[in-house]
Copies of this chain bind each other. A is one copy, B any other.
Amino acid sequence: MLAPGETQETDLGVIELPADVTPGTVVETHLGEPFEVRRLRGPDLFDHLERTGAPMMPRDIGLVIGHTGVASDDRALDAGTGTGVLAAYLGRLGVEVTTYERDPEFAAVARKNMATAGVTDRVDVRTGDLTDELDTLDGGYDLLTLDTGDAAAVVEHADELLAPGGFLAVYSPFIESARECVEAARSVGLTEVETLETIQRRMDFDDRGSRPSTAGVGHTGYLVFARFLPDIG
């Protein structure tokens, strides 16, 4: 991957990307080998971001987006940045994301990853533990996404953090922590609380016929969703 204005040596010669290059342009190396300039798209992030742990998978990122219906210009509060693919996906969709990463080195990598994804203006990676920072936040978020071991402690404040109608989405590999989040969500009056488990399989099509893949796709995480729909009056 190369940013506009950068130069790189390759097996096929030195390539220099003009500062004003646009996607679709063909750029030749000094040896005359053509390369086409392509935009980085969402799934490319999985190849080009530096990993600081297992990133959330495209399917789970998609399910968070589908089940919460987040939209451009929404404000999202995220904890457990990790590699940052969820934050990058949301940023690329026009969502303003504030994301907390406890580990300073991971946070630094995540910031670099947001630059790679081209979303630094949309995604604010903060070093720190969201649980400790709750008092510093104004609330009114449209979406609260959590991928941390102590997510339930944040869910207990989801009613203070979310705008009316806003959604909570927790990613939890383990059933016990999913359950804790469900109980915390109910305890602060969130509604439409549900936990989903998703099994995805590839289909194989060959000359012998069609079937699900014999290579199974394993569990990633449970997704807990809930909504803040306060009564008024």
Contact = CB atoms under 8 A, between A and B. Distances in A.
B203 A195 contact: yes
Interface string A2-22: 000000000000000000000
A205 B94 CA distance: 35
A24 B163 contact: yes
Nearest to A92: B71
A127 interface: no
Contacts of A173: 208-209, 211
A105 B215 CA distance: 30
Interface of A: 23-24, 26, 33-36, 38-39, 41-45, 57-72, 89, 92-94, 142, 163-167, 173-179, 182-183, 194-203, 205, 208-220, 222, 230, 232-233
Contacts of A60: 66
19 contacts: A23-B163, A36-B164, A36-B232, A41-B71, A44-B165, A45-B69, A58-B67, A62-B64, A62-B66, A65-B65, A69-B92, A173-B208, A173-B209, A175-B210, A177-B209, A197-B200, A197-B212, A198-B198, A213-B219
Given A176-B209, A195-B202, A215-B216, 12 more contacts: A26-B232, A34-B232, A42-B68, A60-B66, A62-B63, A65-B66, A65-B93, A72-B93, A173-B208, A195-B205, A199-B199, A201-B219
Given A66-B58, A93-B71, A209 B174 contact: yes
Majority secondary structure, A binding face: mixed
B205 A196 contact: no
Contacts of A61: 66
